[in-house]
Structure 1
Amino acid sequence: GAPRATPRIIKFVAGRRKKFWNKNCVTLGLASGFIEPLESTSIHLVQSGLANFMTLFPDRRFSPTEIEQYNRVMTWEFERIRDFIVLHYKATERNDSPFWDYCRNMSVPDFLQHKMDLFRDRGRIFRENNELFNDTSWFAVMVGQNIRPRSYDPLVDVMSEDELRRRLAHIKETISKSADYMPSHREFIEKHCKARAER
C-alpha cells in the first residue's frame, strides 16, 4: 500500500577502529565501530568489550601483549558479526536494483565463504570461539535465503530409517508443543509492550 509517512533515511558509516585498546584508552560500543542496524549488536559489543577488558586488565602495567590480545579478540568478534550481516546481503535473491545485483555478486570474507561452503556441502554449521550468532541463527538466514545443502550429514547413515523417522517425529512434536504453549503475537504485545493510548 501507500506509505503512511515519509521514510526517514538513516545514513551511517560502517566500520571499526584499527585498535580498540591503544595505550591507556579503550573504546566500547559505538566508539569502537558500527556494523549496521539490521542486527542490534551494539549492546553485546559493549558487554563483550568490558568482559574482555576486565580479563586482561588486572593491574596498571598496560602490557603490550595484553593490549594486543584484546585488540585481536575484539577484531575477531567484530569480523564474525560483520560476516553474519554480510550473509544477509550476499545470499539475497532480490534482483530489482543494481544494489542487490552488486550484493549477490560481491566477494565475501574468507571466513564467511568457508561457512557458506560447509553448509552447502552437507548442511553443517560450526560455531567457533563463542561467536555471537548461534547455529540456529546461521541456519535461519541460510535456509531463509535459499542456500540449500547438496547432501546430508553422513552420521544419519548409522541410523535405521525407522529410528530416523522416530527422531524427526520427536523433533516435530517438540516444536509443535512449544509453539502451542507460546502466546500469539497479539497476546505477547498486549502483555509485554502494549503502546500507550493517545490522549
Structure 2
Amino acid sequence: MGLAAGFVEPLESTGLHLIQSAIAKLMTLFPYKNINQCDIDLFNQQTEKEYLRIRDFIVLHYKATERDDSDFWRYCQAMPIPSTLQQKIEMYKETGRIFRQDDELFNETSWLAVMQGQGIKANNYHPLVDRLSDVEIQRRLQNIESVIANSANLMPDHHAYIQQMLS
C-alpha cells in the first residue's frame, strides 16, 4: 500500500486516497484469516482499475496543455494516450457529457475543470438542458455567477494574503 504499491504523480496528490482505498478493499476482501487466490485477484484488479483511472486524469493535464516552450511540453502534446482517456475526451467533445466509471476518484466537475481549462471544448451540450426553460437556464447561470462572485469577495487579495502569512 502507499508508495510501495506505486506512485502516480504529485500533481493531484492521490497518495492518501490510494492508501485509504486499499485499506477499505482489504477490510472487504479479507475479513478472516484465510486468504484465497480469488480475493487476491479481485483486490489486484480493483487496485489496477483505480490507478489507471487516476493515470488518465493526470495524463489529461499534460496532453491537453498549450505549453510548447520545451521539448518536454512538445512531447506531452504529441504523446499517445490510453484509449480510455481518448474515449473520455471524444465523448466530451461530441456530446458535452463526462461519464464517471465505477466511482472513480475524480468526479465530473474535476474532469470538466481540466478539459475546459486546457481548451478542450464540447461541440454539443447535455440534452437535459432542453428540458429547462430559457428563464430557468438564465436563473441557474446567474446563481453560479453569484456564488463565484461572493466567494471571490470573501477572499483577501493576493497582497493582503501574503502579508497575513508573513505576520
Which structure has more helix as a fraction of its residues? 2
Counterparts of 2:141 and 2:76, CA distance in 1: 36
Identity of aligned residues (%): 51
32, 57, 81: which one aligns with 1:84: 57
After alignment, is 150-159 or 131-140 more displaced? 150-159
Q: Secondary structure at the match of 1:34?
A: coil
Normalised by the size of structure 2, how large is the TM-score? Answer: 0.88
1:171 equivalenced with 2:167 (yes/no): no
Say yes or no: does 1:67 pair with 2:40: yes
Partner of 2:113: 140
Shift of 1:159: 2.3
1:181 shift after superposition: 4.0
C-alpha deviations, 1:48-100, integer Å up to 9, x for none?
A: 11111111111121111111110011101111111111001110111222222
Query: Which residue of the partner structure matches residue 102 of structure 2?
Result: 129
Partner of residue 116, structure 1: 89
Per the normalisation by structure 1, the TM-score is: 0.75
Residues 126-175 of structure 1, C-alpha deviations (whole Å, 9 max, x = no match) = 22222111222111111111101112222222222222212221222233
Structure with the bigger RCO (C-alpha within 8 Å, sep 6+) is: 2
Displacement of 1:110 after TM fit?
A: 1.5
Distance in 2 separating the partners of 1:100 and 1:31: 29
1:151 to 120, 124, 142: 124
> 1:184/1:121 Cα in 2 relative to 1: closer, same or farther (>3 Å)?
same
Q: Distance in 2 between the 1:135 and 1:185 partners?
A: 29
Question: Which residue number corresponds to residue 55 of structure 1?
Answer: 28
- Unaligned runs of at least 5 residues, structure 1: 1-27
Partner of 1:36: 9
SS of aligned partner of 2:39 = helix
Paired residues in the alignment total 167
* Matched residue, 1:3: none
CA 30–163 in structure 1, closer or farther in 2 if over 3 Å, else same: same
CA distance 1:185–1:58, change in 2 (3 Å): farther
For 2:151 and 2:75, locate their aligned partners in 1 and report how far apart those are by CA, in whole Å. Answer: 40
CA distance in 2, matches of 1:186, 1:59: 56
Give the drift of 1:36: 1.6
